Amino acid sequence: MSPSLTKKKLALPIIGRSDLADFPDLELYQIPVKTDTGAYTSSIHAVGIRTRRIGGEYYLLFSVAGMNHPGSPRKQYRFKDFVLRKVTSSNGLSEIRYVIRTHIRLMGKNIRTEFSLTNRSTMRSPVLLGRKLLKGRFLVDVSQKNLSLKK
C-alpha cells in the first residue's frame, strides 16, 4: 500500500458493528443500524411494499412501523424515483427488491445513498449498512459499537 493511501484511510472515521442513524427525508431519527461489509447494498425495513399508478405516473408505496420504538405508529411513504434490482441475501438466495435513494445522517455525515426495501422485522436492526455506503467513507471496527454516541 502506498503511504498516501494509508494516510487517507487513517483519516476516515471509524464506525463499529452497530450504531444509530437519522433518516431526515423519512423523518426517522436515532434508528439502530448494523454494518455488514458482506452486503453490497444497504437495506431498510419496510412493509406493504407496492406500486400504484397515480395521475398517470407510478409511485412506490411502503410503510415502516416500530422503527423509533416498538408500538410506534405506522408511517407511510411515497417515492416517485425507484428501481427494481436483484439482491442476493446472506443465505445465498436472490430476490428482486425495490431500491430507493434517500439521505442517511451517520457519524456527522449526511449521505445520499441507495437502500433496498425488505421486511427486516425478524432482524435485530431495522437497517443494514452495506459496502456501497461504507466504502471510502468509514473504516469498520467490529469490536466497537455506538461510536457516534461517544462523539
pLDDT score for 59: 96
pLDDT score for 148: 86
pLDDT score for 118: 93
Would residue 110 count as lying in a domain?
Answer: yes
Would residue 97 count as lying in a domain?
Answer: yes
Would residue 122 count as lying in a domain?
Answer: yes
Would residue 9 count as lying in a domain?
Answer: no
Would residue 4 count as lying in a domain?
Answer: no
For 117, residues 6+ apart whose C-beta sits below 8 A from its C-beta are 43, 44, 46, 49, 60, 62, 97, 98, 99, 100
CATH (domain of 50): 2.40.70.10
**Which residue numbers in the chain have pLDDT < 50?**
1
Structurally, the chain folds into a number of domains equal to: 1
Would residue 3 count as lying in a domain?
Answer: no
pLDDT score for 71: 58
* Domain boundaries, position 145: 14-150
Distances, alpha carbon 27 to alpha carbons 31, 60, 129, 141, in Å: 11, 17, 18, 28
23: its cell numbers = 433518516
Would residue 125 count as lying in a domain?
Answer: yes
Would residue 5 count as lying in a domain?
Answer: no
